[in-house]
Amino acid sequence: MVRENEIRHGEKAIEAPPAQDAGLVFIGQICTQWNSRMETPRQGRRDGPICRIELFEPWVEGLENIDEFEELEVLYWLHMSRRDLVLQSPASDGETRGVFSLRSPVRPNPIGTSIVGLVGREGSTLLVRGMDCLDGTPLLDLKPERTRFTPIAPPQPGDFEVG
């Protein structure tokens, strides 16, 4: 069941230690059609609607060469999530699981990741399919999808396992 910020039967909230400054910078925002968690997909789909990833300055120049890739990994900050539930009841039926066995948005550091299809680029904005976040979700990072990325630098010891 989709969660707002409630605590369900059997769940366990802890007193989270104060956040330390990991130095994260929001480099943009993700614009989607979803304004409520109740209507946002659990996981993005490659045939989902086109969403817009807007980069802020001074990061726009970092989009150079991005169009060489059909698939990107998007990392984002699920900014509306509570962060204190170590045991969670996804079905709200009293059965609980540990947070690290779930892809729940409720986590100590609410980082979301999605593999999206790159549909196009309009200046500082990428058009993608495959997102599952609220409109205005802060953007943390973009990377080429790992299986489609060949390192640019020459291989080094440890890159390949000789069988």
User: Applying CB under 6 A, which residues contact ligand SAM?
Assistant: 2, 37, 40-43, 78-81, 103-105, 112-114, 132-134, 137
Q: How far is the CB of 84 from ligand SAM (least distance, A)?
A: 14
Asked if 72 contacts 66 with a C-beta cutoff of 8 angstroms, the reply is yes
Q: How far is the CB of 148 from ligand SAM (least distance, A)?
A: 19
Q: Which is nearer to ligand SAM, 11 or 132 (CB)?
A: 132
Between CA 163 and CA 158 the distance in angstroms is 13
Contact partners, residue 159, CB within 8 Å, separation at least 6: 151
Q: Which is nearer to ligand SAM, 104 or 125 (CB)?
A: 104
Q: How far is the CB of 128 from ligand SAM (least distance, A)?
A: 13
Asked if 75 contacts 132 with a C-beta cutoff of 8 angstroms, the reply is no
Q: Which is nearer to ligand SAM, 9 or 103 (CB)?
A: 103
